């Protein structure tokens, strides 16, 4: 069995039916996380802009990847590895063998430190393979770009790689322009998001609607009492503000006193977030989903590095926060909204 970086349900590859022509490109990022998948959207945007006829395929283990990329016209196919590959070895191998039957014009390993991505890149068929140079990972690609000098943000350095390796730009030019995340919500999805928010609020009227999501992994999580105190501070400064809670797909409520929304459909959650004035959560995949919409997304950071993961779109920003100071976070949040 081939090794997996991770991986819960194998999905059949989703294929666009329209005839496409141009170089066939594979982005090899066999990762399960929603955030890491959303952080690939600037790379896809870059490839579509520079190579409008390219046929882009993505090798991933993220269950939401098809939803993330479904409105990108250049994304021809999403190859979905099973979420937990070690539990589904036959599905894992069947997906890989399907990818291996294609000879790609370009294979991109966009991650500087994923052993699995480089392992698979070496074994897939491609005329040109590009990736970052790293100790013990220089083999298997035709063009190795030094990671030193690349922008820090995880959404920016895959774009830097493509500009240097494919388009032959110098390091300075390759760093130009701030990249932004996107899920390309449609007008219909935005309208559905506004309708869902109205149903959630019912007869409530008032000022800006602020969505919060309390769940996060490990040390990135803030206690429930912290959220209540932070919300109380915002209400002191913005009495008309209304709050809702974005809950996990299970529907579990941390703040039962707030109207809550949950869905297993990634794009429905994104549309609901975009309908609000502001979305607040800890560093997580949901934070990047919010940052891929037009909503003001505020990411709360206490253990991870904002320069690597900060929300990247419009006025969205990172906010350093402490378990001991929810009122300080609430005051800053109220300033941002006002």
Q: Please tell me the predicted confidence (pLDDT) of residue 193.
A: 98
**Lowest-confidence pick of 77-86, 135-144, 225-234, 321-330:** 135-144
Across the range 136-143, mean pLDDT stands at 76
CB 311 within 8 Å of CB 42: no
The candidate with the shortest Cα–Cα distance to 38, out of 317, 300, 311, is 311
Residues 49, 159: Cα–Cα separation, whole Å: 12
Question: At residue 17, does pLDDT exceed 60?
Answer: no
DSSP 236-297: HH-TT-EEEEE--TT---SSTTS-EE--S-HHHHHHHHHTSSEEEEESSHHHHHHHTSSSEE
Q: Please tell me the predicted confidence (pLDDT) of residue 206.
A: 85
Q: Please tell me the predicted confidence (pLDDT) of residue 8.
A: 32
Specify the residue for token string 């709050």.
243
Question: At residue 1, does pLDDT exceed 80?
Answer: no
Across the range 213-234, mean pLDDT stands at 96
DSSP character for 277?
A: S
Across the range 225-254, mean pLDDT stands at 97
Question: At residue 99, does pLDDT exceed 80?
Answer: yes
What is the band of 325 on the pLDDT scale with cuts at 50, 70, 90? very high
Q: Please tell me the predicted confidence (pLDDT) of residue 245.
A: 98
What is the band of 264 on the pLDDT scale with cuts at 50, 70, 90? very high
What is the band of 300 on the pLDDT scale with cuts at 50, 70, 90? very high
Give the class (CATH, top level) of 11-174: alpha beta
What is the band of 140 on the pLDDT scale with cuts at 50, 70, 90? confident
The pTM score is 0.90
Percent of the chain with pLDDT over 70: 92
What is the band of 138 on the pLDDT scale with cuts at 50, 70, 90? low
Across the range 96-107, mean pLDDT stands at 94
* CA torsion through residues 89, 112, 181, 33, sign: positive
What is the band of 87 on the pLDDT scale with cuts at 50, 70, 90? confident
Every domain range in the chain assigned CATH 3.40.50.2000: 11-174, 187-337
Q: Please tell me the predicted confidence (pLDDT) of residue 136.
A: 63
Q: Please tell me the predicted confidence (pLDDT) of residue 311.
A: 94
Residues 288, 215: Cα–Cα separation, whole Å: 14
DSSP character for 79?
A: E
Give the class (CATH, top level) of 187-337: alpha beta
* 168-204 pLDDT per residue, tens: 999 999 998 888 999 999 999 999 999 999 999 998 8
Question: At residue 12, does pLDDT exceed 70?
Answer: no
Q: Please tell me the predicted confidence (pLDDT) of residue 100.
A: 93
């Amino acid at each position: 069995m081939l090794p997996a970086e991770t991986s819960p349900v194998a999905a059949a590859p989703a294929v666009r039916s329209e005839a496409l022509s141009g170089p066939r490109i594979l982005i090899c990022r066999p990762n399960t996380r929603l955030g890491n998948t959303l952080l690939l959207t600037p790379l896809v945007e870059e490839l579509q802009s520079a190579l409008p006829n390219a046929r882009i395929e993505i090798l991933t283990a993220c269950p939401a990847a098809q939803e993330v990329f479904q409105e990108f016209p250049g994304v021809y196919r999403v190859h979905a590895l099973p979420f937990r590959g070690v539990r589904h070895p036959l599905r894992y191998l069947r997906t890989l063998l399907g990818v291996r039957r294609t000879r790609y014009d370009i294979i991109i390993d966009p991650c500087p430190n994923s052993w699995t991505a480089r392992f698979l890149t070496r074994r897939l068929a491609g005329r040109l393979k590009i990736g970052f140079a790293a100790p013990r990972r220089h083999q298997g690609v035709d063009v190795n770009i030094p990671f030193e000098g690349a922008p820090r943000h995880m959404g920016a350095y895959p774009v830097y790689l493509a500009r240097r390796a494919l388009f032959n730009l110098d390091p300075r030019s390759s760093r130009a322009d701030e990249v932004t995340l996107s899920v390309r919500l449609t007008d219909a999805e935005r309208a559905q998001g506004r309708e869902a928010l109205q149903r959630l609020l019912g007869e409530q009227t008032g000022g800006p609607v602020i969505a919060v999501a309390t769940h996060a992994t490990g040390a990135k999580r803030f206690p429930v009492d912290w959220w209540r105190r932070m919300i109380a501070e915002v209400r002191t400064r913005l009495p008309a503000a209304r709050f809702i809670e974005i809950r996990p797909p299970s529907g579990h409520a941390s703040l039962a006193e707030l109207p809550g929304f949950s869905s297993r459909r990634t794009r429905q959650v994104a549309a609901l977030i975009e309908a609000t004035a502001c979305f607040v959560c800890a560093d997580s995949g949901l934070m990047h989903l919010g940052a891929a919409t037009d909503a003001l997304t505020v990411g709360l950071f206490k253990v991870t590095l904002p320069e690597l993961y900060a929300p990247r779109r419009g006025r969205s920003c990172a906010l350093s926060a402490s378990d001991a100071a929810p009122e300080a976070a609430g005051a800053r949040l109220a300033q941002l909204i006002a």
